[in-house]
Chain A
Amino acid sequence: GQQVQQSPASLVLQEGENAELQCNFSSTATQLQWFYQSPGGSLVSLLSNPSGTKHTGRLTSTTVTKERRSSLHISSSQTTDSGTYLCAWGNNNAPRFGAGTKLSVKP
């Protein structure tokens, strides 16, 4: 079955609003990473957060390992944040990806 589930599948915001993205995985992860995929298709790593809370810029990720979930909070969204956010999970092996959350930020 699906090892990584992401929600919501899509999200539409007005510029300035905050976004909350969720990732649930099938068993305890030792590696958990959030990626951004641009509308053009290129993939970049945002941050790695196998447990606890991490911040980078307007992004905050919180991972609760024993509950097998991670969230990505985007504050004060901008139109340039539009794209797909992917969660990757694994246990000392090759990461598996969720289907992603497609974010659209309107001006």
Chain B
Amino acid sequence: GGIITQTPKFLIGQEGQKLTLKCQQNFNHDTMYWYRQDSGKGLRLIYYSITENDLQKGDLSEGYDASREKKSSFSLTVTSAQKNEMAVFLCASSPLGGSSYEQYFGPGTRLTVL
């Protein structure tokens, strides 16, 4: 088995601040994802990386940057935190190819902006 670790678990920032969220996986999966989930809503795709040297924008990439440092790690940066913003950021990984996504999710980082 494997595990996805997200750090930090809770993140409190100030308006305008640049904030970085980290994700590590030991499944040896090729593909990694970042999603944002607002309270009571579904997941929205921010960025994903199909393989180690790839980076793809999702539906919600504006206001974010991402970096695939190596196969096992994928970081997300909030470039300028918005006042009163509250959301959970979920990282996931999956093997490349196949007929199913087989996505595995981390526990999430809960962001609060004061």
Taking Cβ atoms with an 8 Å cutoff, the residues of A that contact B are: 4, 6, 30-31, 33, 35, 41-45, 48, 50, 86, 88, 90, 94-100, 102
Contacts and interface: CB of A to CB of B under 8 A. Distances in A.
B15 interface: no
Nearest to A102: B40
Interface in B58-114: 58-59, 88, 90, 92, 99-105, 107-108
Contacts, number: 56
A102 B41 CA distance: 10
A42 B105 contact: yes
Contacts of A96: 45, 59
A90 B101 contact: yes
B103 A33 contact: yes
B35 A41 contact: no
